[in-house]
Structure 1
């Protein structure tokens, strides 16, 4: 929670810095946020892979240095250079979300994982209740320059704390709970071993024996790619789609709430709606974490998507807050169920990379959901944002559930 707090305030601070300090528009502020999001999406898998290969302490060194340097310099740059700094800062963002999930995957096992991942999602909701508000106060009452610098230095200190604490990311490390691998993990590990151990002459011979085969170098390149993504099975891909869908709904709902209240001149009442929305997520997370049976992330995403649509038809702040409770109850369960599923499906040797891609999928959904909702809001009105992201993600969930059913029938 401590390490995530600066991240939760960064978005508001960056937006207000562009609008207030640099005297630019909200569209240009959105461009900075989009560039940073792209950087995070690109960097997350690479940072996770470094944790798998080099260990946590070595992998975090570039992030600690970059967070301290970039966000101490970025507030003093012109808008054009700030775009570049935001991109680089995004790539080297401290991978605290994926590190926590990866560590929880080996610290607990069985049904306890559901509770642990749910508490992680609940903690995130609590952070996002206070972080953005603190960032706004710091920006308006003190300085956006100081605020962004504090965010960078605080994140670097959090990284140093993680390096000192060094939570286990493998079951062989102290404190971890060793769990027997699943059959799917055994198969994936076997494929990786065979691909990695096969000598060069095997690939060369296979290329010579098959008529019209490509040269051995291309064959080996394909084998390396297959080895690198051996963990990416169809069930894992479905979870990544769920993460992207969840990000889309959350970002679209965020923009929709702001649009509805601003359209009615009640933007000052924004905090009440976000309080109801996030509090519901905390309650839903606690309930889901206490359950003894998992629920499919696709089912949870479908319910959250459908329940988001009615928020567009609220005619007062009270009604909007009330309607936000139902989809809010499913927010933390969706994220915790997806994290739990990734931890179950991917062998721990590749789990850091998988969690990185999970974070990238979630971030990509956020990057897509906000402009999609904004486009509908500009076209048809504030209610269009909720309908757009809710309907699109519900359709995505139904397609995923249909694909799962078809796969099960073929396997029978």
Structure 2
């Protein structure tokens, strides 16, 4: 019974091939940061601060470029954008290895802007390929495979860079990106469902129709979630180094990733989605005391279990919510903004934790990122409470299961659907529709 939602989801047309291709396509993207860092430090002879600036430039470019590429997909279709970004990024990685530092800095920003949108394309295609009743396990699978890509990508990048050299690793990234873009182009996953209007260049959806406080609140929660995650990465290293247990860093981080995978897997089996805010708030709160286990690596790993188990579910819930509230014609841009929120959070978390560690001590890295997460949750909470207050409660009869198989409840028959359902619901009957909240 536990695996039933996943079996049903993987049986849907093109879902399995999409997840496989997307997972492989994300591996070179996940390796990019560590390869670029090793290139700056080893080949260019610069410090880690200079490498961080290059990474920041690429991050800023990617954050700006993701929604732009998403809007182009909405307007022009997927394949033209895949050709543009694949060619541009292959050229970037082939050229970047020979550039001096002062020129690599702006080029990295351009490369980030024109990066292959493998992450947002996968989520946009999942929303198009799955009915709402199977969307949550589909996004859970996407989150799990993303974790796998980030476990494999950096390790493979370090292996190539340390054995053959960073420049060879950069050429390997160019080859990997070319294969990733080609794979997505050949697969050509749909970005609109069968019942949704096809892509047209003249189609325009005003941003004011979907760029509303509720959507912004989900982006804020998404950004804060990855801020907590990246800050926790840095804090784990600092705490274990302080206690002279740095050799256990890989084991602790691997266990933490495993907790997230398990949490995401379990979350994908629930029948009704949990609001992203309800998942993220305890995740941030439970991150604060993790530093108390710094004296023993195994205790640190145990303290990471509760917060770690909520990582993947939080990202899954945010992707699911966005897919339901955004009209199909703007889904690419919305998923691009979601990807930007993920990226910005990752970029901010490390420096924030590092500042707290340098000034107060290793354990304060967890406190700093957890406290910022709690603050964001408190800022978003009024918007969620206002949404709940403004949304009429369904009749009491609709909250109990139907006693007769095949009977459609009044809530299912109503045009508005359940509270939080998207303005353009799937026209097919969906008795297992989940509520969607921030």
Place the TM-score, normalised by the shorter chain, in its bin.
Answer: 0.7 to 0.9
2:236 to 248, 254, 257: 257
Deviation at 1:409, TM superposition (A): 3.3
Secondary structure of the structure 2 residue equivalent to 1:30: helix
Kindly report which structure 2 residues correspond to 1:212-223, keeping only aligned pairs within 5 A, or say none.
none
Please show how residues 112-131 of structure 1 align to structure 2 within 5 Å.
112-131=134-153
TM-score w.r.t. the length of structure 1 is 0.85
| 1:5 has 2:27 as partner | yes
Q: Work out whether 1:77 is the aligned partner of 2:77.
A: no
Q: Give 1:153's aligned residue.
A: 175
Structure 1 residues 103-154: Cα deviation after superposition (integer angstroms, max 9, x where no partner): 0001001231000000000001112122211211211122111111211221
Indicate yes or no: 2:114 matched with 1:135: no
Q: SS where residue 315 of structure 2 aligns? A: helix
- Output one character per residue of 1:76-102: Cα deviation in whole Å (capped at 9) or x when no partner: 211111212211110011000000000
Matched residue SS, 2:149: helix
SS at match of 1:4: helix
Does the CA contact (< 8 Å) of 2:196 and 2:328 recur in 1? no
Cα shift readout 1:15-58 (whole Å, capped 9, x = no counterpart):
11112222211111111111110010010000000111110001
Relative to structure 1, the CA distance from residue 327 to residue 28 in structure 2 (aligned partners, 3 Å threshold; closer, same or farther) is: same
Distance 1:399 1:89 in 2: 34
Separation of aligned partners in 1, 2:155 and 2:379: 38
Query: How far 1:263 moved relative to its partner?
Result: 2.7
Say which SS state the counterpart of residue 111 (structure 1) adopts: helix
Which of 235, 245, 252 is equivalent to 2:214? 235
8 Å CA contact retained: 1:109, 1:179: no
In 1: Cα distance, 2:95 partner to 2:164 partner: 18
Residues of 2 paired with 1:84 and 1:264: CA distance?
39
Give the equivalent residue in structure 1 for 2:52: 30
CA distance in 1 between counterparts of 2:313 and 2:384 reads: 20
1:409 is aligned to 389
C-alpha displacement of 1:227: 2.2
Distance (Å, rounded) in 1 between the aligned partners of 2:37 and 2:246: 17
- Rounded Cα–Cα distance in structure 1 between residues aligned with 2:278 and 2:380: 10
Is 1:397 matched with 2:419? no
1:344 paired to 2:324: yes
Structure 1 segments unaligned to the other structure (5+ residues): 173-177, 181-191, 197-225
- In the aligned structure 1, how far is the partner of 2:239 from the partner of 2:59? 25
CA distance in 2, matches of 1:142, 1:265: 31
Q: Secondary structure at the match of 1:290?
A: coil
2:246 alignment counterpart: 267
In the aligned structure 1, how far is the partner of 2:391 from the partner of 2:264?
Answer: 33
Contact 1:67 1:153 in 2 (8 A): no
* 1:173-209 superposed Cα distances (whole Å, 9 cap, x missing partner): xxxxx489xxxxxxxxxxx99xx7xxxxxxxxxxxxx
How far apart are the structure 2 equivalents of 1:310 and 1:118? 27
Q: Closer, same or farther in 2 for the Cα pair 1:341/1:82, shift >3 Å? A: same
Task: Specify the alignment match of 1:200 in structure 2.
Answer: none
- Which residue number in structure 2 is paired with residue 218 of structure 1? none
Decide whether the 8 Å contact of 2:230 with 2:346 is kept in 1. yes
**Structure 2 length as normaliser, TM-score?**
0.80
Q: Is 2:320 aligned against 1:371?
A: no
Aligned residue in 2 for 1:276: 255
Aligned length: 365
CA distance in 2, matches of 1:145, 1:239: 39
Q: Secondary structure at the match of 1:3?
A: helix
Whole-angstrom distance in 2 between the partners of 1:148 and 1:306: 39
Contact (CA 8 Å) 1:106, 1:170: kept in 2 or not?
yes
For the residues of structure 1 that align with 2:45 and 2:283, how far apart are their CA atoms?
Answer: 38
Q: Is the 8 A contact 1:256 1:386 kept in 2?
A: yes
Match of 1:213 in 2: none
Unaligned regions of 5+ residues in structure 2, if any?
Answer: 1-22, 393-438
The structure carrying a bigger helix percent of its residues is 1
Larger displacement relative to structure 2 (276-285 or 399-408): 399-408
Contact kept in structure 2, 1:45 and 1:353, CA below 8 Å: yes
Equivalent in 247, 271, 276 of residue 292 of structure 1: 271
Task: Name the CA distance, whole Å, in 1 between partners of 2:239 and 2:174.
Answer: 33
C-alpha distance in 2, partners of 1:143/1:159? 24
Q: For the Cα contact (< 8 Å) 1:376–1:388, is it kept in 2? A: yes
CA–CA distance in 2 between the matches of 1:336 and 1:285?
7
Q: Distance in 1 between matches of 2:240 and 2:282?
A: 25
